Structure 1
Amino acid sequence: MPNTAFPGESPRESAAGAAPPSSGDLSDQQRAAIADLFDSVVQELGELFSDGGHELAMVGGPVRDALIGRKVHDFDLTTDAVPQTILSLVEGWADAVWTVGIDFGTVGLRKGGLQLEITTYRSESYQPKSRKPEVHYGSSLHDDLLRRDFTVNAMAVRLPERDFVDPFGGLADLEAGRLRTPAKPEDSFSDDPLRIMRAVRFAAQLGLTPAPEVREAATGMADRLAIVSAERVRDELTKLMLSDAPRTGVELMAELGLAAHVLPEIPRMQLEIDEHHRHKDVYDHSLTVLDQAIELERKRGFEPDLVLRLAALLHDIGKPKTRAFESGGRVTFHHHEVVGASMAKSRLSALRFPKDVVAAVGKLVALHLRFHGYGKGEWTDSAVRRYARDAGDQLQRLHILTRADCTTRNRRKAVALARAYDDIERRIERLAEEEELNKVRPDLDGNEIQEILGIRPGPEVGKAWRYLLELRLENGPMGKDAAAAELRAWAQRHLEEAGGSPGSDGTGAGKAPGGEGSA
């Protein structure tokens, strides 16, 4: 049936005046899922609009998600009423109203525990060089659905009648796992180029395969992403990375040429041999690390982690810039972690990711190789302390990233690496219990350093503090007396190297290097 009415109700024709093409009947399970969307609040709102002489329909994401059994988080509705009329209709009925999106025709409201957004029928388009869409109000549900991004988002349920409206075959596409656009894909992507990114996100998030004409249009119009704000691109990339299958989306971005405009470092990793001169190129290795990081993330009971997933994807982006050939044809990528950390921070900053995300990803990329020296010799407790201290609040993510970075097919080597990392995690846990590694500080604070050395605040206090921190990491807790003795000895050596002489009490008081009393 083109418009599927619920039991006891009659189907309505589309706004165009004729029944749209058939998209198949709703199953009993799908009918029940759609019916569950409409609690008393939504039904009451539909009647409120109907009594006021206006149309209202649940549309897009919530209808799609209900049909495939996904949990519905957002309640999006559309209407022929303009924003001021919407405000008038819900006045005195809604518990709260907000108008932050009113310039784009959207009014938000809360009733009881439910939050909803109501948007006037509309169309929007970008001028060739504009970063902001032009919004035009429409007058029919059919035309509103026509301007939507994909057919699976162009399904609606009218209120209060609860008629299912599917003029462009979205249900059939959903069941076939196919991604099409209601209008020509070139027109759809021209209206909003971000829909090109949304296509790869839906591939990763919903398992939908873009139709051939969608792929062709996306490839030919990829450069149109340049007019979309970095923030909007970032938001789509974030949703893609937090999906169930981000690798699918990243691969599609590379295939369609989108990555060149969003994450150009990704396609540049293709065909680069890894440092072990194995069968994988860096691109495939990075995608495998991403997959393995997600698997470990799930095993450890973590929620989808944007920082971890970005770090897994980007951890080797410094390799193409650092590739060198040595005698015998061996390929090396010396210091690629340092170069890669800088590149990752630069790219994520350009995409307007929050500063804490940029810093965390940069730290993980910079540290991802540190562990690989562990199996080459026994690490002292001081080395383990430094590893944990340098990772700081990223330690748990670093554990997962480092384990995921093992993609060798050599079973014996993989088992050895896993055992080695089991060992370092156990040692970190033991030292953390004994010494509170997350709070490691020198045994003396800045005031105590100044008092012992008889110096004023300045650079020398920082040098002394860092020296004592190194001792703390090397030896573990020392106690204040032992730390003071080491500090005096350090000051003596420091002064002698600088050509000065210590004070009469042997502390260097009044003659601190670089201070006011230095020669």
Structure 2
Amino acid sequence: MNTTESQLRAMKEAQRNAVAELLRVSPVADELATRFADAGHRLYLVGGSVRDALLGRLSSDLDFTTDARPEVIQRLVSGWAEAVWDTGIEFGTVGAAKGGVQLEITTFRADVYDRVSRNPEVSFGDTIEGDLVRRDFTANAMAIELSTKTFVDPHGGMAALASEVLDTPATPEESFADDPLRMLRAARFVAQLDVTPADRVVAAMRDMAGELERITAERVQAELSKLLLGKAPRRGLELMVDTGLADVVLPEVPGMRLAMDEHHQHKDVYQHSLTVLEQAIDLETSHEPTSEPDLVLRLAALLHDIGKPDTRKFEPGGGVSFHHHEVVGAKMARKRLRALRYSKEIVQDVSQLVYLHLRFHGYGNGEWTDSAVRRYVNDADHLLTRLHKLVRADCTTRNRRKAAQLQRTYDDLEARIARIAEEEDLKRVRPDLDGNEIIRILGVEPGPIVGKAWKHLKEVRLDRGPLDHDEAVAELRRWAADQGIDPAS
């Protein structure tokens, strides 16, 4: 790779960042390096820790590699570290904690993969060069020898980082055959680091995308989540779609390329959904800020229209409709997220947001009654803030006047929600009578009748707002009479 003057400047700046970051954690790193050197062993900061140091964002979770074998590592950190754990020792890794820093120290590896189960035959190596060549990408195949602060970069990782290029130390075919998950990791790094994959990496991903089927759903889900939480998830997703990885992981996303959105303002629903994702990310901090990226919101933004291909209908006169695509999409989102082994909470929250994302469009110019506003809040429940962001993000029209009108209309809805919430405490909408009062008034035993009565009173509460106690009792008695229940006198 030819290195330009600007890239050389970037590399020098990266080296300064790395030195500054190492100085920040030097008490722990230097003490550890001294212990290993005194015992006749070499210790290197390695992999993602070096990459992050070069980028000026080294965390307190540090990765090291060494020629010392696992039992020697244990002996060297015992009595020095505040805590030591050996859950990864069969793979050559010993964990430790010292001074608020989490350390993972791994013996040089020289693994051989069987390329069927992807399980490695764990083998320890003797050189840093042999260890680095088996790593996933050149940006992660750098090391710093800690006793001298010497960079070890046999595969041009620093130049690749300065050029914002993602490449592999060995050939990408070898790397991806060892672990097909590295293809998805490539898309994740594109999203996290905003780098561009080398042509040979993209070609190998296209040729080998089907190999990803060998990887467990749990590992795939972990990489997908990291991708979505990156600073540029659209780029990572586009790489997945372009290379065929998405056909294995999220086939519904490339499937959206088949459906033209009903406003004809975007090339297809796929591009619209990526735009909604970007706008939802912008709203994470500009509209009721959150402290960190929101996986549930981002998944809902990406998947909110996945029901459109299955509901597309060409109408007389050239129009296109997608009736009930939110219902179909919610079911599809639930099925896909379950297959990816997401938690029950994430599955439920994302599918509910997909289901609700169109509800606002019935609001018109404020024609909803207060009852309809209450139901909107009640159905959204704890997802209301996310629903606000999703609905706002779903406005991708290029017509500025129309976009401004939609935002003003939603401003009006939020203002009404705030007003009614202040008057009626919408976050805790409950019937005006509790279960014990229902039992006493109706003179019944606890059971299904009480549940039905409670549900009816809640519907009345949503429709009419708070009732005083006498009104609530009268309503319960009316309901009981309609059900053929003779209330206690």
Pairwise TM-score range, normalised by the shorter structure? over 0.9
Amino acid in the other structure paired with 1:478? L
The 5-angstrom pairing of residues 210-249 of structure 1 reads: 210-249=197-236
Partner of 1:261: 248
> 2:382 is matched with which residue: 387, 390, 393?
393
The structure with the greater share of residues assigned to helix is 2
Provide the secondary structure at the position in 1 that maps to 2:59. coil
Partner of 2:393: 404
The 5-angstrom pairing of residues 28-43 of structure 1 reads: 30-31=15-16, 33-38=18-23, 39-43=26-30
The 5-angstrom pairing of residues 98-497 of structure 1 reads: 98-130=85-117, 132-300=119-287, 301-302=289-290, 303-375=292-364, 378-495=367-484
Alpha-carbon shift at residue 458 of structure 1 (Å): 2.2
Alpha-carbon shift at residue 70 of structure 1 (Å): 2.8
- Within 1, Cα distance between the matches of 2:110 and 2:342? 29
Q: Deviations over 1:442-485 (max 9, x none)?
A: 00112211221222222222221111111101111102211110
Task: Tell whether the 8 Å contact from 1:277 to 1:331 is kept in structure 2 after alignment.
Answer: no
Provide the secondary structure at the position in 1 that maps to 2:257. coil
RMSD of the TM alignment (CA)? 1.8
Amino acid in the other structure paired with 2:21? D
Alpha-carbon shift at residue 135 of structure 1 (Å): 2.3
Change (3 A) 1:465 1:25: closer
- Within 1, Cα distance between the matches of 2:250 and 2:113? 23
Alpha-carbon shift at residue 377 of structure 1 (Å): 5.5
Provide the secondary structure at the position in 2 that maps to 1:358. helix
Give the aligned length: 478
Q: Deviations over 1:303-324 (max 9, x none)?
A: 2100000000000011111112
Task: Tell whether the 8 Å contact from 1:124 to 1:135 is kept in structure 2 after alignment.
Answer: yes
Q: TM-score, normalised by structure 2?
A: 0.94
Provide the secondary structure at the position in 1 that maps to 2:123. strand
Q: Deviations over 1:64-105 (max 9, x none)?
A: 112122343421000111211110111211111011222221
Please, which runs of 5 or more residues in structure 2 have no aligned partner? 1-7
Alpha-carbon shift at residue 434 of structure 1 (Å): 1.5
Provide the secondary structure at the position in 2 that maps to 1:334. coil
- Within 1, Cα distance between the matches of 2:444 and 2:405? 51
Provide the secondary structure at the position in 2 that maps to 1:311. helix
Change (3 A) 1:125 1:247: farther
Q: Deviations over 1:3-55 (max 9, x none)?
A: xxxxxxxxxxxxxxxxxxxx999526623533531412211111111111111
After superposing the two structures, state which structure 1 stretch, 353-362 or 132-141, moved more. Answer: 132-141
Task: Tell whether the 8 Å contact from 1:240 to 1:249 is kept in structure 2 after alignment.
Answer: yes
Please, which runs of 5 or more residues in structure 1 have no aligned partner? 1-22, 496-501, 511-519
> 2:83 is matched with which residue: 96, 101, 104?
96
Change (3 A) 1:307 1:28: closer
Change (3 A) 1:32 1:234: closer
- Within 2, Cα distance between the matches of 1:467 and 1:28? 67
Provide the secondary structure at the position in 1 that maps to 2:44. strand
Alpha-carbon shift at residue 275 of structure 1 (Å): 2.7
- Within 1, Cα distance between the matches of 2:169 and 2:19? 22
Q: TM-score, normalised by structure 1?
A: 0.89
- Within 2, Cα distance between the matches of 1:98 and 1:324? 59
- Within 2, Cα distance between the matches of 1:182 and 1:275? 46
Task: Tell whether the 8 Å contact from 1:180 to 1:211 is kept in structure 2 after alignment.
Answer: yes
Change (3 A) 1:86 1:435: same
Provide the secondary structure at the position in 2 that maps to 1:115. strand
Amino acid in the other structure paired with 1:296? L
Alpha-carbon shift at residue 325 of structure 1 (Å): 2.1
- Within 1, Cα distance between the matches of 2:86 and 2:176? 28
Task: Tell whether the 8 Å contact from 2:108 to 2:125 is kept in structure 1 after alignment.
Answer: yes
Partner of 1:499: none
Q: Deviations over 1:256-311 (max 9, x none)?
A: 11001111100000031113344431101100100110111121322210000000
Change (3 A) 1:292 1:44: same
Change (3 A) 1:90 1:273: same
Task: Tell whether the 8 Å contact from 2:18 to 2:56 is kept in structure 1 after alignment.
Answer: yes
> 2:53 is matched with which residue: 41, 56, 66?
66
- Within 2, Cα distance between the matches of 1:279 and 1:442? 45
Provide the secondary structure at the position in 2 that maps to 1:385. helix
Partner of 1:19: none
Alpha-carbon shift at residue 108 of structure 1 (Å): 0.7
Change (3 A) 1:188 1:264: same
After superposing the two structures, state which structure 1 stretch, 93-102 or 120-129, moved more. Answer: 120-129
Larger radius of gyration: 1
Partner of 2:3: none
Amino acid in the other structure paired with 2:55? I
Partner of 2:4: none
Task: Tell whether the 8 Å contact from 1:24 to 1:171 is kept in structure 2 after alignment.
Answer: no
Provide the secondary structure at the position in 2 that maps to 1:352. coil
